[in-house]
Amino acid sequence: MSQPPATPPIPARVFPAGGDAHGHPARLELAGGVLQVLLEDGPARQVPLAGLRAATRGFNHSQWAIAWAAEGGEHMLIVDEAAVSPLRALAPALFAGGEDARRRGSRRFVVGIALLALVPLLVAVALLSSLDHLTDRVVERIPPGVEKQIGAAVLARTRLESRLIDQGPAFEAVQAIGRRLARPGEPLEFHLAERPEINAFAAPGGVVVVNSGLLAQAASAEEVAGVLAHEIAHVELRHSLRQIVRSAGLRVIFGALAGDYDALGGWAAQLGELKFSRDAEREADRRGLERLAEARIDPAGMLRFFETLEKTEAGAPAAKVPAVLSTHPATKERIAWLREATATAGGGPLEPIAIDWRAVAGSLR
């Protein structure tokens, strides 16, 4: 008789040493201090917890990269933050280590700068002592061309992690909704990533990426328009650019102040997804609603989408909470605000988005 696993299976992707960039789907089970990696397309592996190292990755540290050394080099697992809690509960030290390493890394950065810095730089540090202030200075100065390059770097990273869908009803729907929302001459581009997580994100330079999982969850084009309007607002308000600069560290920031943006582009390419402040999210919701009104799109779609997700969230274990909610704080409060804002919005004439949503949903199945 086999022992039942101590935890429910955790979904993961496995990147074996010397393997391809796409990885292999797997489930993780944890029992008796040993991690069972059950590959969907290969033999199971047993890894002692003691041999693992974990580090966060992704724009908002929404994923964990868990690595171990084995024959042939280093193997790696990618697990979503939303799914990692059973593992964290059993091996808190593994995850605390990842957080510590990150803090130590940023301290080493600062010490290194202090040792290497020239006198003018120290004067500059004294004058411009706050990181916020420095971030503002860099963001103000970044030329649109560089912002575009940073967006392209983020997109290249996304392409490495998941396939971009570039034809078919779902792709056409995203383009059509994007065109309805874009203002004349606005440099926006919309991409559809083949990923099951219910999520979308904005990168600098007008790059908006939406996951196929979000489209599959939406009941109408208006619901998707609500999410895209919110993400476009993040672009417009340069929230992504600001977060990238802010998280890049002082060395990169000083480089950018001196006109060297290469390190910033490299940094952006390492990130997955950004988490913004509650104020930034509120501002993006407000601007998103304005944009929907301009485009004569029913703002109730935005509200409906988040209400549906919240119901999913309420009934789901923590591991199943939609990604778009885990990156967007204060769901209940936000829905209450959206409800009020959509109810009091000026009632201009609405124009339905002419998309056969059944065909879109069908194409994603």
Q: Of residues 138-197, which lie at the interface with Zn ion (CB under 5 A)? A: none
Shortest spacing between CB 243 and Zn ion, in angstroms: 11
Shortest spacing between CB 233 and Zn ion, in angstroms: 8
Shortest spacing between CB 300 and Zn ion, in angstroms: 19
276, 278, 284, 289 alpha-carbon torsion, rounded to 10°: 150
Give 12 or 284: the residue with its C-beta nearer to Zn ion.
Answer: 284
Q: How far apart are CA 182 and CA 188, in angstroms?
A: 7
Give 94 or 302: the residue with its C-beta nearer to Zn ion.
Answer: 302
Shortest spacing between CB 276 and Zn ion, in angstroms: 6
Shortest spacing between CB 188 and Zn ion, in angstroms: 16
Binding mask 110-139 for Zn ion (x = CB under 5 A): ------------------------------
Give 29 or 281: the residue with its C-beta nearer to Zn ion.
Answer: 281
Among 97, 107, 112, 32, which residue's Cα sits nearest to residue 67? 97
Give 15 or 59: the residue with its C-beta nearer to Zn ion.
Answer: 59
Give 14 or 202: the residue with its C-beta nearer to Zn ion.
Answer: 202
Shortest spacing between CB 308 and Zn ion, in angstroms: 17
Rg (CA), the chain: 22
Q: How far apart are CA 64 and CA 319, in angstroms?
A: 14
Give 29 or 231: the residue with its C-beta nearer to Zn ion.
Answer: 231
How far is CA 256 from its chain centroid? 24
Give 60 or 250: the residue with its C-beta nearer to Zn ion.
Answer: 60
Determine which helix (DSSP H) or strand (DSSP E) holds 308, and give its type and residue range: helix 300-315
Binding mask 66-85 for Zn ion (x = CB under 5 A): --------------------
Number of C-beta neighbours around residue 109 at 10 A: 14
Shortest spacing between CB 184 and Zn ion, in angstroms: 24
Q: Of residues 284-323, which lie at the interface with Zn ion (CB under 5 A)? A: 284
Residues in the chain: 365
Q: Of residues 246-285, which lie at the interface with Zn ion (CB under 5 A)? A: 281, 284
Shortest spacing between CB 320 and Zn ion, in angstroms: 20
Inter-residue contact 263 to 255 (CB < 8 Å): yes
Report the interhelical angle of 144-161 vs 239-247 (nearest 10°).
Answer: 80
Q: Count interface residues toward Zn ion (CB under 5 A).
A: 2
Give 81 or 281: the residue with its C-beta nearer to Zn ion.
Answer: 281
Per the rule left: phi > 0, alpha: psi between -120 and 50, beta: everything else, 297 is beta
78: helix, strand or coil: strand
Q: How far apart are CA 211 and CA 164, in angstroms?
A: 9
Give 223 or 281: the residue with its C-beta nearer to Zn ion.
Answer: 281
Q: Of residues 329-358, which lie at the interface with Zn ion (CB under 5 A)? A: none
Shortest spacing between CB 234 and Zn ion, in angstroms: 6
Using a 10 angstrom Cβ sphere, with 0-12 exposed, 13-18 middle and 19 or more buried, the burial of residue 39 is: middle
Q: How far apart are CA 73 and CA 76, in angstroms?
A: 10
Inter-residue contact 305 to 218 (CB < 8 Å): yes
Give 189 or 283: the residue with its C-beta nearer to Zn ion.
Answer: 283
Shortest spacing between CB 169 and Zn ion, in angstroms: 26
E strand spans, the chain: 10-15, 24-31, 34-39, 45-48, 53-57, 63-70, 73-80, 164-165, 189-193, 200-203, 207-211
Residues that bind Zn ion (CB under 5 A): 281, 284
